[in-house]
Structure 1
Amino acid sequence: MEEEKSTIEALPEGCIAKILSHTTPVDSCRLSLVSNSFCSAAESDIVWDRFLPSDLISIVSDSQSASSLFTTSPSKKSLYLTLSDHPILINNGKTSFQLEKQSGKKVYMLGARDLSIAWGDTPCYWDWIILPESRFQEVARLRTVCWFEISGTINKRVLSSDSQYVAFLVFKMINAYRFEDLPTKLTVGVLGDQVGLSTKNVWLNPYYDDRERNDEFQGLERPKVRSDGFLEIEMGEFFNSGLEDEVVEMRVLENGGQHKGGFILEGIEIRPKK
């Protein structure tokens, strides 16, 4: 064992760094415990540059914080950790981008301004407010509407390849009403492909007790609280091979005819499945 350890430690640091760059961020951190040589190599820019997206500069090019992002990060590892802990706003502030910390895969959130909202431009139905805890400059607040529909799209080519992705609706419920009459339908699928469409019915109000219902909607999935204080509910998932130039559409719909309100839309987050 001692001889094997000595052989490993005898490898040049650059060689060890090259080896670690072909693992994952988690594996690299674990392997840094093997020896002092591995620990030093695991901090190398050679390793963490491989974990960063090759198109990172073009992704964040229109972000107001892009320049400070690179100048204030003393190393590639520091840059990686910053992007995994702090979403950066892109697309004129309408979309956020970050990295999934364990894998380095891309995560996007389409903000409310980047989504299509039925009657969203009509102030008596929806208005736009500032929410201090939101990552975006403004969020959409439902005043009252009977046709509740939200949709968004993302092209697979901007996501990490060979990855299973999950879309989540991110929102808040404040003095919400009439979301208990009928469940909300969530769909995810490639635009124009009805065969592979994923559809599910859910309750958006996490406090609704449906145990007295005597229909097929009893016991439906409901949202969970995120670490940032918002609610989220899984909409559906899809696989991105990286070979297809396909657009994925995500849709939220409830058109029971009853006026409802108290819903605040943060966005739709698309992140790799764990």
Structure 2
Amino acid sequence: MEEKSMKFDPLPEGCIALILSRTTPIDTCNLSLVSTEFYSASKSDVSFQLDKKSGKKCYMLGARALSIAWGDTHCYWEWTNMPDSRFFEVAKLKIVCWLEIRGVLNTNALSPNTHYVAYFVFKMINSYGFNICLVELSIDIFGDQISNKNVCLNLNAEEEPDYDFEEEEIMDLRERMQGLQLPNVRSDGWLEIEIENFFNSGLEDKEVLMSVMEIKIGHSKKGLIIEGIEVRPKDAN
């Protein structure tokens, strides 16, 4: 009897990406080795899935889909693979003074009549400089800024400053960092911090601009690893 093989090429890449999003990073790698369609989808810069609870769309822009200042300058950023990432590449910060990360998503990619929350998803490995700087998170929808706030990306914000400061300067730094929003640990081991929530009526197709920036203090920073920016329904797990 002639064996019949399953053909995946008629499926749109978004559908294959959805299948891969339900697997582990290791499974994704294995599937990519045996299927050109899975390989192509695994290298996609975005990830799409449905929230199990509500059935509404969740969307994630991978690091390659973001605009990262000097992101292609090797002395500042490195593009590498991590086995626990859903994306083929993540961005690893070598060192910068000017941190500027932006992501753009059209509202027609999301479910209508839904409150969404945008999250910056990242890790810190041998980081430096993030316990003394306020990182600014903001969301603009069609040119109208609906949120702007300062946060601390260092989960251990009470660590001693990385730089040599006078005692008075250290006290001032700690006062500025006190009470700032800190990241949470996700079930997949990455960190996430809420950028802001917004409502998608679905009546108009608008651009949502999400920004992660530190351009005011000007101190050196390193050790940030960017997976991407995830947008999911407000009541999603």
Q: TM-score, normalised by structure 1?
A: 0.67
CA distance in 2, matches of 1:107, 1:86: 16
Match of 1:231 in 2: 191
SS in 2 for 1:215: helix
CA distance in 2, matches of 1:241, 1:157: 10
Alignment of 1:113-262 (within 5 A): 113-194=64-145, 197-209=146-158, 213=173, 215-255=175-215, 256-262=217-223
Deviation string, structure 1 residues 39-66 (Cα, Å, up to 9, x no partner): xxxxxxxxxxxxxxxxxxxxx7224836
CA distance in 1, matches of 2:175, 2:84: 37
How far does residue 248 in structure 1 lie from its aligned partner after superposition? 0.5
CA distance in 1, matches of 2:23, 2:114: 22
Distance 1:176 1:210, change over 3 A: closer
* Identity over aligned pairs, percent: 51
State which drifts further: 259-268 or 177-186: 177-186
How far does residue 217 in structure 1 lie from its aligned partner after superposition? 3.4
Does the CA contact (< 8 Å) of 2:42 and 2:88 recur in 1? no
Deviation string, structure 1 residues 58-110 (Cα, Å, up to 9, x no partner): xx7224836x95xxxxxxxxxxxx97x45999596100011111000000110
Distance 1:90 1:199, change over 3 A: farther
Match of 1:61 in 2: 12
Larger Rg belongs to: 1
CA distance in 2, matches of 1:214, 1:111: 33
Does the CA contact (< 8 Å) of 2:45 and 2:64 recur in 1? yes
SS in 2 for 1:145: coil
How far does residue 259 in structure 1 lie from its aligned partner after superposition? 1.1
Does the CA contact (< 8 Å) of 2:129 and 2:219 recur in 1? yes
How far does residue 246 in structure 1 lie from its aligned partner after superposition? 0.7
Match of 1:44 in 2: none
Match of 2:31 in 1: none
Does the CA contact (< 8 Å) of 1:185 and 1:253 recur in 2? yes
Matched letter for residue 148 of structure 1:
L
CA distance in 1, matches of 2:213, 2:78: 19
How far does residue 244 in structure 1 lie from its aligned partner after superposition? 1.3
Matched letter for residue 183 of structure 2:
P
Matched letter for residue 202 of structure 1:
V
Structure with greater proportional helix content: 1
Does the CA contact (< 8 Å) of 1:62 and 1:91 recur in 2? no
How far does residue 270 in structure 1 lie from its aligned partner after superposition? 0.3
Matched letter for residue 87 of structure 2:
F
CA distance in 1, matches of 2:197, 2:151: 15
Distance 1:162 1:91, change over 3 A: farther
What residue ranges of structure 2 are gaps of 5+ in the alignment?
1-10, 29-39, 161-170
CA distance in 1, matches of 2:99, 2:42: 26
Q: Choose from 27, 37, 49 the match for 1:98.
A: 49
Structure of greater relative contact order (alpha carbons < 8 Å, 6+ residues apart): 2
CA distance in 2, matches of 1:86, 1:102: 18
Distance 1:178 1:262, change over 3 A: same
CA distance in 1, matches of 2:77, 2:93: 5
CA distance in 2, matches of 1:90, 1:172: 24
Over the aligned positions, Cα root-mean-square deviation in angstroms equals 2.5
Distance 1:158 1:189, change over 3 A: same
